[in-house]
Amino acid sequence: TCALPIFSQGTMLSLYLSLLSKIPYKAVIGFSGRLFMPKTVANTETPVCLVHGKDDDVVPFESILSAKEQLEKLGSKVKVLEVPNLGHSIDLSGLKFAVEFLKGII
């Protein structure tokens, strides 16, 4: 499976499905989402890149910190970018961070 940048609910779904998948994804790159932990976890090998605006009023910024903590406890590799002065959106700094993340795994 490939790596695609995803936003908000797409991040939530992709994180959830990646943990259920018996075959690791190349990566999950999520913007402005949160983690809903499945009851059973089959995969912790998928590398994860999370980007979140500190001023998000739709999905609270703290969601990214919780996701990072939970994923790392499972043994997943997680890179996080906290973007100051950004709401529920994607900006150029987040896109650049995601590209650098991809360069590191390809």
Catalytic residues: 8, 56, 88
DSSP string, the chain: ----EEETHHHHHHHHHHHH-SS--S-EEEES------SS-----S-EEEEEETT-SSS-THHHHHHHHHHHHHT--EEEEEETT--SS--HHHHHHHHHHHHHH-
